[in-house]
Amino acid sequence: MLISARSRLSHNDQEAPTGTTKSISISMASDTTLFETSTPIISHSGPPQHARKDKDDLPSPVLKRTGDPDIENNWSAGKRRWPELLPGVRGNINVRDVALGDYIAFGGYSHVYRGVWQRDVEVGIKILSQLDHAAAFASELFTWATIPAHPNILRFYGVCFDACQPFMISPLMRNGSLLEYLHRFKPGPRDKIRLMIEIAKGIRHLHDHKIAHTNLHARLIVIDDQGHAIISSFGFAYDARESCATGALSSFVTDPDKLMEALLVKMHNERKLAYPFVSDIVSFARIAIQIWSGGLTMQRLREEGTAQESLVALLGRCDAGIGRMGVPLPTPEEIINNLHQILADLLATPGQQPLDTPWIQEEHVTFQELIGRGGYGEVFRGMWQGNEVALKRVFRGDMGRDLYTAFASEIEIWSSLKHDNVLPLSGACLTTTFPFIVSPFMKHGTALSYLRTVPTTTYQRIKLMLDVAQGMSYLHGVGIVHADLKASNVLVRDNGSGLVCDFGYAKLESAAAPKGTDPSERVGTPRWMPPERLLEHKSSKEGDVYAMGMTAYEIWTLERPFGDVPDARLWTRIIDGDLRPCLNSMVVEMPERLKELLEECWAPEPEDRPSFKVIEAVLQEILLACPVNVPMPQEPRPTETISAKVSIKRKRRDELTVNAGDLIKVLGRFSGGIEFGTLTTPEKGGYFVRTDLE
């Protein structure tokens, strides 16, 4: 139920915001345990059955308590409980714009309710509960309202003094406290480290602005809708700033000086704490131990035995306190850097070296315009360290495998590659809900966009093919199968040279042969995929060679392979009809040797295709004999003028295996996510339609 201040001003109850009917948990109490309403969406009767029940185990995060009837009655009646408290002082929030909802929690000086602000914004409402705690309320108001914005600090919306009792509002945290989140979602090791990093980032931000929280614990860390950890509740914060800059409150309060004087808020300068900033580091260690093991002590962490030695050592240093063990406490910056490396070690493939990648912090990167999409990521133009960069960010896609593992695999492969025709990796960030990779920005974009906007000659196009072949030859030389080569995965430098990019489907050659069914082999762009991969879900070096033939065709003609064939009919025509692009009747005739090379690349039998070393040598020969000044068109032919033909037949078609009952999803750029029907063997009544094209 929502109690709107508007309802007492108008007989039309429909004016009041309605909001949602579910009670959502939020942690905004400043110094005590979070209590929760009896909502079925998040209530728990106790810890999970499989959880260990040692003496230092966490209690259930749910304790039920009723709200304050005086607050609810006074709110509904429009009465002010302490009208003489702050005469003449007004906040930026109008009580008529706020509807009071369900009770959530009780703090040291406040009751917390959910509510709706301005009809459609769900908020947490933190209401002063006792008059003798007004100074604590004002102290938190001063600190919270003057902390510069940060993604890991709970945002302050504003304050109201003309309600029944003064209150502050902030975004509603639907996932509740960190403890509730851990009990409910049971995050894996990577997400646990990510949560630790986010908490450390929030502490670093506070310390950078000379503020110590001094009361950090897991019930005061809240989780937003995207799963980020956010520090809340600043009632005990220690403010070491040189002066109480009450001017910063002017956005929220009409007379900040009068407010601070009336409430006697001098504690920012008078409060004496021996080691306020050290206490945050020690508290971080306890929270991190809770995140990892569910316990409260270093002994519990060591006994559990699942934490990496580097993590145990780091938290041991943080938990050392002052003078104990003679080890200086790490700074928040050191903690963040160490946790990034621990995360990299967790993500490294078993048997491989830890990832040697520059780890980038999210706040140092600016995302700008969207410039492209990949198999499971979006590509943005952005800024990092004053340089224009490309940012590839994960989006939630139906890939049938762990998204973080897939992304880490791309980073692991990419970070080890060093070649003039392979796009370099600048860094990565894995500690956000949507991890991203940073690489140099190429203003010409992909090979297709470059060739359509910049005048080129036959020589330059063959040179671009050679660049791709050299990059692919290097990849195969170090045992990497790209598995998604096409012109849109080739970028062009300012000097016109080509760079192979996008290693989202790349894998080590030793891992390319599937052991069982690998879902990652079922996605890609089928117009560039060889018949054996379409049927057998097997990527290989020979499959890359097939894709090189299609990519070279794109570079010469600016046309996608089989541009005249609908997606829904493409598979059967490639597999059963051995369909290949027609190399005749082009605007600029292709050299005969280049035609022969492309036909060798897309030979139906993998063993009949040349290696990239051979392709590289042949392209060198063609380039030497190619005229330098023959211009090429910058537009593809109209689709209706493109002809495809059945030019070759498989020699051993019956040796192909068809996975009966296997549902294929194609997520390619031109497929539009089309879901194809079930493929079955002829013995089970399934047939591939055979259609000859003119």
Residues annotated in the binding site for ATP, as ranges?
A: 392
Phi, psi (rounded to 5 degrees) for 632:
-115, 150
Rounded-to-10 torsion of CA 461, 462, 463, 469 = 120
Which residues are bridge partners to 391 per DSSP?
380, 438
Which residues are bridge partners to 159 per DSSP?
168
**Cα dihedral across residues 181, 186, 190, 196: positive or negative:** positive
Is the distance from CB of 601 to CB of 551 less than 8 angstroms? no
What is the separation, in whole angstroms, between the first and last Cα of the chain? 69
- Give the β-pairing of 436-440 and 427-429: antiparallel
Please give the full DSSP string across 556-620, using - where no structure is assigned: HH---TTTTS-HHHHHHHHHTT-EEE--SS-SSPPPHHHHHHHHHHT-SSGGGSPPHHHHHHHHH
As a whole number of angstroms, the distance between CA 243 and CA 239 comes to 9
As a whole number of angstroms, the distance between CA 370 and CA 382 comes to 9
Measured CA distances, 368 to 217, 365, 428, 680 (Å):
36, 10, 17, 46
- Which residue numbers belong to the known binding site? 392
Phi, psi (rounded to 5 degrees) for 428:
-155, 160
Q: Where do runs of H (alpha helix) occur along 351-495?
A: 403-415, 447-453, 458-477
Q: Which two tokens stand for residue 502?
A: 């996008």
Mutual orientation of helices 332-347 and 189-208 as an angle, nearest 10°? 160
Which residues are bridge partners to 222 per DSSP?
177, 230
Sheet holding 110-117, edge to edge: 3-4, 98-106, 110-117, 121-128, 167-171, 158-160
Q: Where do runs of H (alpha helix) occur along 305-428?
A: 309-318, 332-347, 403-415
Is the distance from CB of 263 to CB of 128 less than 8 angstroms? no
DSSP summary character for residue 276: H
Angle formed at CA 22 by CA 16 and CA 28, multiple of 5 degrees: 90
Rounded-to-10 torsion of CA 286, 290, 295, 297 = -20
Is the distance from CB of 628 to CB of 474 less than 8 angstroms? no
How many other CB atoms are there within 10 angstroms of residue 657's CB atom? 12
Rounded-to-10 torsion of CA 694, 563, 599, 652 = -70
Measured CA distances, 175 to 230, 278, 570, 577, 674 (Å):
11, 29, 45, 54, 35
Measured CA distances, 513 to 349, 417, 481, 525 (Å):
17, 22, 11, 19
As a whole number of angstroms, the distance between CA 97 and CA 107 comes to 24
User: 348: exposed, middle or buried (C-beta count within 10 Å: 0-12, 13-18, 19+)?
Assistant: middle
Q: Which two tokens stand for residue 664?
A: 């294929």
User: In this structure, which amino acid lies at residue 687?
Assistant: Y
Q: Which of 242, 250, 32 is nearest to 141 (CA)?
A: 250
